Structure 1
Amino acid sequence: MDDLLPISAFSRATLISANTLRAYHESGLLEPAVVDPRTGYRGYRVAQFGDAAVIRSLRELDVPLAAIREVLAARDPAVTRRVLAEHRERTLARQAHIEHVLHLTEGLLDDPAAVTPATVTERTLPSFTAYTITREVTEEEFPGFLGEAFVLLGRHRAAGPPGALFPVEYQDGPSPVTAFVPAAGGPETLPGGRFAIAEFTGPYADMSAGYRSLGVWLAGSGHAIAGRVRENYLLGPGETASDQDYRTEICWPITVQE
């Protein structure tokens, strides 16, 4: 057929590997003009050079495939500008996060004790009744879930700060997280007992420092974690202008390890 190129020649002409072209085909980002159902032969037309060049340029900027698909579907300069502006904002946020991680890494490697400053105390806490909402969520979904849950739970008259319960063991995938607000007559009773507690001040993204403090304390205590980990949000969004002032109690239920 006229102006039809095999995948090898199209790959060389566009400087996109054949493996990547196959992946773009499977994802629907850049489909061949023809595919032989018997041999699987992929053929591309010269008119597809433009799409391939746009994809290659945007991928060099790490623009997500979904955003590139939107650009190609719209074929509208205004859409392209919007997509690139949104990507720029994500890039700047990632750059700020990288700078933060670099600063944290330098501190951890230089003096690990200096970045685990939270004081850990042992306290006995009473059980209490609460209204709760539980959902399976990933770490990235924690803020969204908790924000939605606390709006719903805010209909009840709270008898203390809101909080959340997490599994004993940290999980990479979705895990059950329970948002709660203490309330008289709430339908669920959350257990009391002996807790190791670290009060952390600062953004939620930095709360790992409080968890490290509890880990250091637990390692030398002879105790073990006895149940779901609890976070009490003493001061949070809407209550202070800066996330640097957020205050969170991280509470680990403990028992003597045999």
Structure 2
Amino acid sequence: MNDLLSISAFSRATLISANTLRSYHESGLLPPAVVDPRTGYRGYRASQLGDAAVIRHLRALDVPLVSIREVLAARDPAVTRRVLAEHHERTLAQRARTEQILRVTGELLADPAAVTPAVVTERTIPPVRVFTMVRDVREDQFAGFLGEAYPSLYASIADAGAVVSGPPGALYPAEYHDEPVPVVAYVPAEKGGDHLAGGRFAVAEFTGPYRSISAGYRALGAWMAGTDLAIAGPVRENYLTGPGDEVPESDYRTQICWPVQHSEE
């Protein structure tokens, strides 16, 4: 084994710790040239120093091990460029995500209401006349649909000679779904063409940006867990203060209403 470097010498030559070299061996990324079956001695050839340098350089850039393995296996500049381009795009996406996290946590530091459990009350809400628009949409399409629906609904109310009688809102299925679901956008108005049923509701008023509204839903879920109640139909959100009110997102106010009934009803 005189032509081999021991793991300690190879570690010093490559500036990669022995423990990391053992890990690279186990993962198949940089196996030693020989392993003594009796002693477990690992020996590395000088020709492996180049691969070790590539690995060290790419790991310093957080390139995944699977991608580094592809670079070493191909030994092709075109493959290396593609792998680095893919990693560059992933890093840009991670940076955008990190910047979003920093922005949102900064907002929460200034006003932590969005992550403070909302107060839940049980109340009776009377029926109301509304103008409505319905569309099957996914969650990531809710905002776009509502942004289109409300101007149209307000125009319909004006055309009908009616008067708006409350904040806009929307009805969502009682159960959450990943696929498109029917969402009903509504605006209360005298002489409305549709009837929005009243009844008993668990109500939470959430303050904060819509992207954090799940905190309001968690508060309702935690409240319901201590009762014998069940959701009795589509849940509704009433947008008390929102984009059209010229206030920061942190001041948006949304009333979340779950229709409830006793489980045995």
TM-score (norm 1): 0.62
Q: Which residue of 1 aligns with 2:164?
A: 158
Aligned-residue Cα RMSD (Å) equals 2.8
Q: Which residue of 2 aligns with 1:35?
A: none
Match of 1:214 among 201, 217, 220: 220
Q: Which residue of 1 aligns with 2:99?
A: 96
**Retained in 2: the 8 A contact 1:202–1:245?**
yes
Q: Report whether the alignment pairs 1:61 with 2:67.
A: no
1:14-37: CA deviations, max 9, x gaps? Answer: 47xxxxxxxxxxxxxxxxxxxxxx
Deviation at 1:102, TM superposition (A): 8.3
Deviation at 1:129, TM superposition (A): 1.4
Structure number with greater Rg is 2
Match of 2:182 among 176, 180, 195: 176
Amino acid aligned to 1:117: P
After TM superposition, list the pairs within 5 Å mapping 1:83-232 onto structure 2: 92-99=95-102, 115-155=115-155, 156=157, 157-232=163-238
Give the aligned length.
180
Q: Report whether the alignment pairs 1:235 with 2:238.
A: no
**Retained in 2: the 8 A contact 1:224–1:257?**
yes
Secondary structure of 1:143's partner?
A: helix
Deviation at 1:96, TM superposition (A): 3.2
**Retained in 2: the 8 A contact 1:200–1:249?**
yes
Q: Which residue of 2 aligns with 1:12?
A: 74
Structure 1 residues 192, 221: closer, same or farther in 2, change over 3 A? same
Deviation at 1:61, TM superposition (A): 2.1
Secondary structure of 2:224's partner?
A: helix
Q: Which segments of 5 or more consecutive residues in structure 2 lack a partner in the other structure?
A: 1-72, 107-113, 158-162
Structure 1 residues 167, 14: closer, same or farther in 2, change over 3 A? farther
CA distance in 2: counterparts of 1:62 and 1:170, whole angstroms:
32
Secondary structure of 1:168's partner?
A: coil
TM-score (norm 2): 0.61
Of the structure 1 ranges 221-230 and 90-99, higher mean CA displacement relative to structure 2 is found in: 90-99
Secondary structure of 2:220's partner?
A: helix
